[in-house]
Amino acid sequence: MNKKRILLTLLVTVLMITIVMALSGSGSSGQVAFWSNSTDLTGSNNLYWDNNNSKLGIGTTGPAYKLDVNGSWALRGNGYFYNSTAYAYDPTNNKYLAFFATGGKGYVGMLDTSPLILQTNGGKVGIGTTGPNAKLQVNSGDIAVATQGNGLILKATNGANCYRLTVNNAGVLNTTSVTCP
C-alpha cells in the first residue's frame, strides 16, 4: 500500500471515531430519537415508533392505530377526512359519536341511534331519517319548544308577514306578529 492510501484510511478512521464520540445519548428501542441539545440524542416513551406495524404513539408505547394519541391534543387550521369516519369515544358509556360523509350527505350521530343528517343537495336536515324530504324532517319523535314565549314561526301563505305560533295552558293556540327571520 502506498503512503497516501494509508494516510487517507487513517484520516477517515479518525474522523469516523470523532463523529461517533461526538454523538451521545440514551433511549430505548422504539423511542423516537430527538436532539436534546446540539450534540446529544435522547428518546422518550411519550413519542414511540412501532417499527413492526408502522404505528406512531404519542403518550403511549403501544399504539393501536397508525397515529395513536393518549392525552389532550389540538388540531389547528383546516383538516380533512378523506373516505373515512371520525369518531369521538366516550369510554364511560361505551358510545361513539361519528362524523362522516357519503352520497352528498353529512352524518353526525351516535352509532347506536339514527344520526343527524345534513344534506348538501337541497340543504335538508334530517333527524331520525337518512332521507329528509323537507328542509327539516323529524322522524320517530317530537319537536319541543320548552321556553315560554318561544314557538314556531310561520310565514303567511298570502303575504310577507310572519307569526309566532304558541299555546297557552288551556291548549289554545295563539299567534303573534313577529319580524320574519
What's the confidence (pLDDT) of residue 175?
93
**116 contacts 109 by C-beta, under 8 angstroms:** yes
What's the confidence (pLDDT) of residue 104?
73
In tens, the pLDDT along 50-91 reads: 999 999 999 999 999 999 999 988 878 877 777 677 888 888
What's the confidence (pLDDT) of residue 108?
79
Q: 3-class secondary structure for 71-122?
A: CCCCCCCCCCCCCCCEEEEECCCCEEEEEEEECCEEEEEECCCCCEEEECCC
In angstroms, the CA 97 to CA 86 distance is 8
pTM greater than the 0.85 cutoff: no
Who's near 34: CB < 8 A, 6+ residues apart? Answer: 41, 42, 43, 44, 47
- In Å, how far are 36, 109, 130 from 101, measured between CA atoms? 43, 12, 12
Helix (H, G, I), strand (E, B) or coil at 128: coil
pLDDT in 10s for each residue of the chain, 181 residues: 576 677 667 666 656 555 555 556 667 788 888 888 887 888 888 899 999 999 999 999 999 999 999 998 887 887 777 767 788 888 888 887 888 777 777 777 776 666 666 666 677 888 888 778 888 888 888 888 888 888 888 989 998 999 999 999 999 999 999 998 8
Residue type at position 121: N
Which residue ranges make up each domain of the chain? 1-70, 82-142, 144-181
